[in-house]
Amino acid sequence: MGHPIIGPDKWNLRARIPRAINVLASADQALPSIVWDRLRRDPNDRLPQMERIELPADIFVDVIRAVGPKNSLTAALRTACAVLLDQQVKASEFKEPLVVVELVYLAARIESEASIPALTKLVSHPGTAVSVREGRSLKFQAVRALVGMLAAYPNAATEEHRHLFSSMLDQYPDIMIAALVGLFGEPRELLVTAARAKGQTIRDESIDQYLRVAGFA
């Protein structure tokens, strides 16, 4: 695949995506490092500078939108997310939890199926209790990403996921009920009734929203 030669102006918005494609397509084994540097907002990363309202993951989402879902660069970026997540879950604690949550967000946005095993481990990692975004924990962000990923790739949902989600019903009842209903066909009414019998506050509109966002409804 040929890529245009772009001048050095990092702020040329028309050149932003072609420049990023050039950098990423030639990265080879360095691709995970390039992804990580952007997610941690490293000012010296090799990609076009971030715009004022841009999220760290946006450049990769835009690149995939430009090259298409079946392009080899798309596959490489999805694999890079899986590699980075796997590295993180092997650590006893997260040195940069804010970067990990950006990685989780990116993996979900680009539907990195290869990241599902590491995301599954991340949900159970003891270090995910830390608050990372809008008062939400890293664990919640990982749970939400995992449910969305399994909705995109339902054949990847296993009995391990069913048991994992069932074990978190008391902690995250609305999204776990949505996951168990959408992925495994468990009866919603029975799950809601059981949760309310334990004193849980269950919001039907919240469950409906999770089902819609994940594509279950």
Same domain, 84 and 104: yes
Instruction: Give me the CATH number covering residue 26.
Output: 1.25.40
Same domain, 71 and 133: yes
List residues bridging with 131 in a β-sheet.
137
Per-residue tokens: 55 = 């999220």
Among residues 156, 183, 199, which one ends one of the domains? Answer: 156
Same domain, 74 and 178: no
Same domain, 118 and 52: yes
Please give the distance of CA 60 from its chain centroid, rounded to a whole number: 12
**What local confidence, expressed as pLDDT, does residue 51 receive?**
84
**What local confidence, expressed as pLDDT, does residue 2 receive?**
43
pTM of the model: 0.89
* Count of the separate structural domains present in the chain: 2
Same domain, 175 and 101: no
Same domain, 14 and 63: yes
Same domain, 123 and 134: yes
pLDDT in tens, the chain (217 residues): 444 444 444 445 568 899 999 999 999 999 999 999 999 999 888 899 888 889 999 999 999 999 999 999 999 999 999 999 999 999 888 999 999 999 999 999 999 999 999 999 999 999 999 988 777 899 999 999 999 999 999 999 999 999 999 999 999 999 999 999 999 999 999 999 999 999 999 999 999 999 999 888 6
Among residues 105, 126, 156, which one ends one of the domains? Answer: 156
CB atoms closer than 10 angstroms to residue 47: 20
Same domain, 44 and 87: yes
Domain that holds residue 164: 157-217
**What local confidence, expressed as pLDDT, does residue 13 receive?**
54
Per-residue tokens: 60 = 């990769």
Q: Which residues, in sequence order, are CB contacts of 123 under 8 Å at separation 6+? A: 139, 142, 143, 146, 164, 168
Same domain, 112 and 202: no
Same domain, 96 and 139: yes
End-to-end CA distance of the chain: 38
**What local confidence, expressed as pLDDT, does residue 14 receive?**
62
Same domain, 51 and 93: yes
Same domain, 110 and 180: no
